[in-house]
Amino acid sequence: MPQTDITQTTSADLTGIKNFSVNSTVLDSPDSNDKNWYEDDSVGQYLTYYKTTQLKAAVDTLAIWTVGKGYNVSNRDRVILDNITGWGEDSFTSILFNLMVMKKVTKIGGFAEIIRNESGTLVNLKPLNPANMIIYYNPQGIITGYGHKQSKGKIKKYEPDKILHLVNDRIGDEVHGTSVVESVKWIIDAKEEAMRDWRRISHRSTVRILYVEEDNKDRIANLKRDYPEAIKNGDLLILPVLPKDAKFEDLQLPPIQQFLEWIRYLENLFYQAVRVPKIIATSEGFTEAGGKMGYLTFEPIYTYEQTQLEADIWNQLAIRIKFNRPPSLSNAMQETEQKNVSQQEAVQPNDLNAGVGE
C-alpha cells in the first residue's frame, strides 16, 4: 500500500504574487512659463473605446437624457438657436449631443467654434475635432486662447470667446477634464477578453479530426492541399495514424455559466463606474421596483449634467437656457410609501386577532 511522506512536500514560490497598489497621480497643474499649452494625445485611443464597445451606449444615453427633452429660451434666442446648422445638417440639439459625448470621452473636452455676425449675434456653432485642439493658458491656469491644428503644420488661433468648450469632471487646478474611459478601461478590457475567450473556445470545439493511414510525407502534403481552407481556419486536424492506434479526446465546451457570471459582473461594474444605471440602458431582467430605484439614482446625475450645460451656455454664449427634465418619480414614490404606511397603521394587531379563540 503506498505511503505518504509529509517531508516530501514541495512548496510553491509565491513571491510573484503582489499586493494591489497604484502609482501616485500628479495633477497637470500650470507652471511658471509665460506661455503654456495642453494637447490631448489620448483622444484617438479613447474614441476607439467609445466607438467599439458598450461605452457608446452608456455615454449616448447620458447625453440623450441631458439634451433630448428639449429646452426653453426666450423667443429671440429661440429664433437664433433654431437657425444654427453646424456643418449644414446639424441642429442646436445635435451639436450639444456631440459636445456632450466629446466632453465625457476625452480629457480635453468638446469644442465648437462660435461664429457671430458683425453685430455680434450668434449665427452658428461648428464642432471641432478634440484631437486637433490646443489649449493655451497663463501661469495662473487661466485660458488665454485656443489653437486648431490644420494641414501642413499650420495652427488657427482663437480668442477664448470664439470657442464653446465643455470639460468633464475637472479636478484641482488641472487644465483639462477627466475622461470616463480612465475609470472603466480595465473593466471594458476584461469583459472583451472574456467574450473573446468564449468565442475562441466555442470555435475550437468544432474542430474535426481526419485519421489517415499514411506515413509518406509527400502523400500527406498532397492530402493537406485538398483541405487548405479548413486547415487554415482551424476546422480540420489531420492525424497520419490509424484511429485504433491513437487516442484523441473530443474538445468539450466548459460550463458557460461561469463565463456568463463573470461577464455579467463586469457589465454591472461597468455601469456603476460610468454612472449610468444599467436599467436606463436596458430593462432586461429588472423588476418594477428595481427599475424605479435605478431611475431615481439617475435623476441627480442627468440633472447635474443639465445644470452644468446651462451654466456653460450662459457663460460662453450669453444665452439663458433651461433644459426640460424627464418626468421624476420622487413624488410618486413618496405618495406610494405614505399609502403603504397608512395601510399598515389602519390594520391593528387586535384586528388581526379578532375572532381567534371564539
Which residue is it, cell 386577532? 353
Give the bridge partners for 237, in sequence order.
Answer: 209
**Burial (0-12, 13-18, 19+ Cβ within 10 Å), 51:** exposed
Ordered per-residue pLDDT tens for the chain, 358 residues: 555 555 556 666 656 667 777 788 888 888 877 788 999 999 999 999 999 999 999 999 999 999 999 999 999 999 999 999 999 999 999 999 999 999 999 999 999 999 999 999 999 999 999 999 999 999 999 999 999 999 988 999 999 999 999 999 999 999 899 999 999 999 999 998 888 887 777 766 655 555 555 566 666 665 565 555 554 555 555 556 555 554 555 556 677 788 888 888 998 899 889 889 888 876 655 566 656 777 788 899 999 999 999 999 999 999 999 999 887 766 555 555 555 555 555 555 555 455 555 4
Amino acid at 173: D
**Burial (0-12, 13-18, 19+ Cβ within 10 Å), 103:** buried
Cell of 258: 461561469
Amino acid at 59: V
Q: What gap in Å lies between CA 216 and CA 235, rounded to an integer? A: 23
The whole-model pTM stands at: 0.76
Task: Give the total residue count for the chain.
Answer: 358
Cell of 309: 450645460
Boundaries of every domain in the chain = 27-178+276-340, 184-256
Instruction: Give the chain's largest Cα–Cα span.
Output: 102
Q: What gap in Å lies between CA 297 and CA 274, rounded to an integer? A: 13
